[in-house]
Amino acid sequence: MAKQHKFTVTAARGMLPLLADELKQLGIKNTKQDQGNIRFTGTLADAYMVCLWSRVAIRVLLPIAHLHAETPEQLYEGVNALPWEEHIHELDSTIAVDFNSFRSKIKHSQYGAQRVKDAIVDRFRTLFGLRPSVDLYQPDVRINVYLKHNQATVSIDLSGDSLHKRGYRVSNTTAPLKEHLAAAILLSAEWQKLARQGWALIDPMCGSGTFLIEAAMIAADIAPGILRDYYGFTAWKQHDKDSWKQLKADAERRRQSGLARCPVIVGGDADARAIEAAKNNIAEAGLHDRIQVNQRDLTEWPKLAADLPKAGLFVCNPPYGERIGRADELHYLYESLGNIINESFSGWRTALITDNAQLGKFTGLTLFDSVPFDNGPIACDVLFYRAPRPVRFNELSSTPTQFVDEEFDDKEHAPVEMTEQGAMFANRLKKNKKHLAKWARKSDISCYRVYDADLPDYALAIDLYDEHIHVQEYAPPNKSILRKR
């Protein structure tokens, strides 16, 4: 019987239930859901299968050790004592280290990664007189260290790189959806089942084509990882080549027969550059004869409705207020969307992803369900509609100006350009505040901690005292430690 290992599969906020379903469909048992991940016991082939077939997973990790690491020295000693020669080939290997810390004494992730890398390299130097080199992008072996309450879990990252990178994205547009997010929205909309029943799919603002490609891959039973030429296990010393070869061959067979079952999938976008990007990506995915895309404005879709099936899924990622366009200009777009769906696609289901769920009201459609998902650093909601109801914009009690985000109108506090990490930090603050404010109001509390080093790179404590904010920075690692790097 093949050797059993314990694996950890990570996924983004809101996607764990979908991941649990996927693992079940893949025949993986013995799963245990934790915060931000699902653990399971299985064979290497099971882990490879998750890398190849999961549409929502981000990483598949194989934990190899648990260490107590309160100081950089303990971290170094613990990692240096591990048998890395069982994982990394002695000659010409490359490595990279990802390090994340949560509520631990070693807080600085780059510093932690550096000490882990040094510990591995020094072990190789002592044993073989040779050292692996560092390749941050596509290393032969990527090592993941997660330090929580000073306990480090050291893992081999079998995915090697985030699994959302399918390998078909050769061209980009402004604000593309991440592939795993597009897949998660489609799976939440039951697209797998609908496609089997022959339902069609439209994305009228397809941008670089992410929804269209993910939809075709789901409908045609194409493994999301089939195009990837890089994983974290192919150059790992314990790689099971035969299992991988077999899984890939099986996925190729399924792709061949699945393509014949692909339903009608059509996209459009007002921007010619977006259509060019979508065509390039679709061609790279080998789906040019399964997906049609053309440059057209949203308002042109009613003319096409007569030639399309009577039932389908209308998916859409309209421009966001924060990234393209202004929130206060978007209500007209949502109103048009609602009118078009109402009048020309009344038998269809709809899924819209938005960073401002209020805008959904302008569609005039009856909300069936909404699910929170993050699009990178932007907290979003996916709005699902089932039975359109003929409600007109002027019937709504709210006027458009009520939906204007005050921040956008206020010149003094106009949004500043932020890095992705900065935006993540801002979003985390907003979310914590929203969540805690409710509890504080109910409990009649006016002073509370809204943030406590939740993100490792922002090691701050932020307390609210009525109208006042008190910010304290945690001490950085001490200088003598930093000099040893």
Ligand X SMILES: C[S@@+](CC[C@H](N)C(=O)[O-])C[C@H]1O[C@@H](n2cnc3c(N)ncnc32)[C@H](O)[C@@H]1O
User: What three-state secondary structure class fits 144?
Assistant: strand
Q: What mask of x and - would describe binding to ligand X in positions 70 to 109, judged by CB under 6 A?
A: ----------------------------------------
Nearer to ligand X, 87 or 349 (CB): 349
Nearer to ligand X, 75 or 327 (CB): 327
173 binds ligand X (CB under 6 A): yes
Region binding ligand X by CB under 6 A among candidate stretches 13-21, 123-131, 132-140, 268-276: 268-276
Residue nearest to ligand X (CB): 207
DSSP string, 44-95: HHHHHHHHHH-SSEEEEEEEEEEEE-SSHHHHHHHHHTS-GGGTS-SSS-EE
How far is 191 from 325, CA to CA, in rounded Å? 29
Q: Please name the residue ranges forming H helices in 312-459.
A: 330-344, 406-409, 420-443
Region binding ligand X by CB under 6 A among candidate stretches 24-32, 46-54, 172-180, 242-250: 172-180
Nearer to ligand X, 101 or 280 (CB): 280
Write down the least CB distance from residue 271 to ligand X, Å.
4
Choose which of 75, 262, 274, 378 interacts with ligand X (CB under 6 A): 274
How far is 296 from 414, CA to CA, in rounded Å? 33
Least Cα distance to 265 among 157, 172, 177, 182 occurs for: 182
Write down the least CB distance from residue 485 to ligand X, Å.
40
Q: Is 346 left (phi over 0), alpha (psi -120 to 50) or beta?
A: alpha
Choose which of 139, 176, 312, 456 interacts with ligand X (CB under 6 A): 176
Write down the least CB distance from residue 212 to ligand X, Å.
9
Write down the least CB distance from residue 365 to ligand X, Å.
18
Write down the least CB distance from residue 278 to ligand X, Å.
7
16 binds ligand X (CB under 6 A): no
Query: Is the distance from CB of 62 to CB of 155 less than 8 angstroms?
Result: yes
Write down the least CB distance from residue 291 to ligand X, Å.
13
Write down the least CB distance from residue 184 to ligand X, Å.
13
How far is 443 from 448, CA to CA, in rounded Å? 11
Q: What mask of x and - would describe binding to ligand X in positions 226 to 265, judged by CB under 6 A?
A: ----------------------------------------
177 binds ligand X (CB under 6 A): yes
Nearer to ligand X, 215 or 222 (CB): 215
* Residue count, binding to ligand X (CB under 6 A): 19
Choose which of 319, 338, 388, 456 interacts with ligand X (CB under 6 A): 319
Write down the least CB distance from residue 398 to ligand X, Å.
22
Choose which of 207, 224, 232, 456 interacts with ligand X (CB under 6 A): 207
Nearer to ligand X, 157 or 269 (CB): 269
Q: What mask of x and - would describe binding to ligand X in positions 286 to 315, judged by CB under 6 A?
A: -----------xx-----------------
289-317 core/surface letters (b: 16 or more CB in 10 A; e: else): ebbebeebebeebeeebeebeeebbbbbb
Contacts of 423 (CB under 8 A, 6+ apart): 376, 377, 378
Q: What is the dihedral of CA 320, 326, 330, 332, to 10 degrees?
A: -160
Sheet containing 31-34: give its strands across. Answer: 31-34, 37-42, 5-11, 57-68, 151-157, 141-148, 94-102, 133-134
184 binds ligand X (CB under 6 A): no
Nearer to ligand X, 215 or 464 (CB): 215
Nearer to ligand X, 175 or 367 (CB): 175
In Å, how far are 3, 176, 320, 352, 401 from 333, measured between CA atoms? 55, 19, 11, 12, 15
Write down the least CB distance from residue 109 to ligand X, Å.
29
- 232: tokens are 């974290």
329 binds ligand X (CB under 6 A): no
Write down the least CB distance from residue 301 to ligand X, Å.
9
The amino acid occupying position 445 is I
Phi, psi of 57 (to 5 degrees): -70, 155
Query: Is the distance from CB of 228 to CB of 293 less than 8 angstroms?
Result: no
First-to-final CA distance of the chain: 45
Query: Is the distance from CB of 54 to CB of 95 less than 8 angstroms?
Result: no
Choose which of 88, 205, 235, 251 interacts with ligand X (CB under 6 A): 205
269 binds ligand X (CB under 6 A): yes
23-43 core/surface letters (b: 16 or more CB in 10 A; e: else): beeeebeebeeeeebbebebb
- The contact set with ligand X (CB under 6 A) reads 173, 175-177, 204-205, 207-208, 210-211, 269-271, 274, 297-298, 317-319
